[in-house]
Amino acid sequence: MSLYVTELRRLGKRRLTRLLLVLLLLGLATVATAFSFSSHQLSKEVVAAAQVESDAQYQRAVEDWKKTVADCDAAKARGDQNTEDRYGPNCGRDWQPQPEMFDPKWNLPYQFDFRAEFPTFIAVFAGAVALFAFIVGASYVGAEWSTGGMMNLLLWRPKRLAVLGTKLAALLTTVLGVSLVLGAFWTFAFWLIGRYRGTTAKVTAGVWRSIGLDGLRAVGLILLVGAVAFALASLGRHTAMALGAAVAVFAISEIGIRIAVNVLSVPFGDRYVLSTYAQSWFMKQVELFDYDTCQFAKGACEPAKLVVTWQQSALVLGVGAAAVLIGAFWSMRRRDIS
């Protein structure tokens, strides 16, 4: 227990942890603040003004139409032959503007709808905190290895697996705490934006439950990213190992595999791309289509579909993370420390 508390302290005292936490806070606060300015609550006055603007636009359009028809008739009276080319058939009388063509909604400013749009902002939050977890997780153990701190600690606690496990637990606890606290503030901030500069209509208990589940999936992904970064840095005994692996995975999975499956015309090629599973984890499912099965010359076509569910994503991401973690602990147990 003392080692666990010590590791929590050590992680909290690290300059990089504090710096990144400040940057994360500033980044999230900036996004929320900037977004709050772009949203405007639709009061009766604003709606009425939009209606007036819409009516005025309709009237202007009718006046323009009438003038165009009159010009056309005058041109015909002068004997012009090409009025149809310039004004259309029947001098455009059939194209009279209709009121429904000028929807007042188009003149309304943007209003944030908490119920419909907050899930997108959960993904934004998860991305930012996952980046924080990745860098902190990798540097926490990577710096321990590269500065000899791990060796020092093992001279005090010569139980390798327990030491590595305790460090991982301290990291995950910290990341979980940061995620939950910041997540609560993030949710509250956007609820406030919705309440005072948007709308929180139809936010029922069911909506809150759905938001909660989205949040849990986000926290799960953040913890997984932190654990994988930790394991990679521990495997390579350097922070750069995790960063290098991340770049390599991005290059191979997101670029290399995409190119390869396109060249080879592999059906549902995106199922081999890692980000598909991250996306599916967030969105509960992702639908992949194989348009090669369609012969559009024969008319409309319903392409073959493959659904990647969040359960499948959990399996793929979980097995991948477990493999890296097992490798890190195996390496810790077997390799000499020099």
Partner 1 sequence: MSAVLEIEGLRKTYRSRKRGVRHALDGFDMRVEAGQVHGFLGPNGSGKTTTLRTLLGLIRPNGGRMAILGQELPQALPAVAGQVGAIVESPQFFPHFSARDTLGLLAQAGELPRQRVDEVLELVGLRDRAGERVKTYSLGMKQRLAVASALLKNPKLLILDEPANGLDPGGIREMRGLMRDLATAGMTVVLSSHILGEIQLICDSVTIISLGRRVAFGPVDEVLAAHSQGAVRVRLEAVTDLPQAAETLTRAGIRVTAEPDHLMLAGVDKPAAVSRVLAEQGLYVSELTPVAVDLESVFLELTATAPVPGQHRQVDQSMKVGEPGSGATTGGWGA
Q: Which is nearer to partner 1, 130 or 153 (CB)?
A: 153
Region binding partner 1 by CB under 8 A among candidate stretches 3-11, 60-68, 98-106, 115-123: 3-11
Least spacing, CB of residue 178 vs partner 1, in Å: 20
205: its two tokens: 């208990």
What number of other Cβ atoms are within 10 A of residue 46's Cβ?
15
Which parts of 152-181 interact with partner 1 (CB under 8 A)? 152-159
Least spacing, CB of residue 116 vs partner 1, in Å: 45
CB 142 within 8 A of CB 237: yes
Q: How many residues does the chain have?
A: 338
Q: Which is nearer to partner 1, 7 or 214 (CB)?
A: 7
SS3 293: helix
Least spacing, CB of residue 291 vs partner 1, in Å: 50
Q: Which is nearer to partner 1, 159 or 209 (CB)?
A: 159
Which parts of 10-39 interact with partner 1 (CB under 8 A)? 10, 13-15
Least spacing, CB of residue 332 vs partner 1, in Å: 12
Q: At what angle do helices 15-38 and 114-147 cross, to 10 degrees?
A: 160
Region binding partner 1 by CB under 8 A among candidate stretches 4-12, 36-44, 177-185, 290-298: 4-12
Least spacing, CB of residue 9 vs partner 1, in Å: 6
Q: Which is nearer to partner 1, 90 or 147 (CB)?
A: 147
Examine residue 44 and tell whether it contacts partner 1 (CB under 8 A): no
Cβ-defined contacts of 33-36 (< 8 Å, 24+)? 35/112, 35/193, 36/192, 36/193, 36/197
CB 165 within 8 A of CB 330: no
* Helix ranges (DSSP H) in the chain: 2-13, 15-38, 44-78, 83-87, 114-147, 149-156, 160-197, 205-236, 239-249, 258-263, 274-283, 310-334
Closest by CA to 226, choosing from 160, 163, 179, is 179
Q: Which is nearer to partner 1, 83 or 166 (CB)?
A: 166
Least spacing, CB of residue 247 vs partner 1, in Å: 26
Which parts of 115-154 interact with partner 1 (CB under 8 A)? 143, 147-149, 151-154
SS3 42: coil
**285-290 and 304-309 beta bridge pairing:** antiparallel
Q: Which is nearer to partner 1, 159 or 305 (CB)?
A: 159
Closest by CA to 125, choosing from 51, 235, 211, is 211
Q: Which is nearer to partner 1, 126 or 328 (CB)?
A: 328
SS3 11: helix
Least spacing, CB of residue 240 vs partner 1, in Å: 17
Radius of gyration of the chain from its Cα atoms, rounded to whole angstroms? 29
Examine residue 9 and tell whether it contacts partner 1 (CB under 8 A): yes
Which parts of 97-116 interact with partner 1 (CB under 8 A)? none
How many chain residues are in contact with partner 1, going by CB under 8 A? 25
330: its two tokens: 């195996």
Least spacing, CB of residue 37 vs partner 1, in Å: 37
For 109, 164, 216, 231, 320, the CA distances from 333, given in Å and listed in that order, are 61, 10, 33, 13, 20
Examine residue 213 and tell whether it contacts partner 1 (CB under 8 A): no
Binding mask 298-327 for partner 1 (x = CB under 8 A): ------------------------------
Least spacing, CB of residue 8 vs partner 1, in Å: 10
Write out the residues near partner 1 by the rule CB under 8 A.
2-3, 5-6, 9-10, 13-15, 143, 147-149, 151-159, 336-338
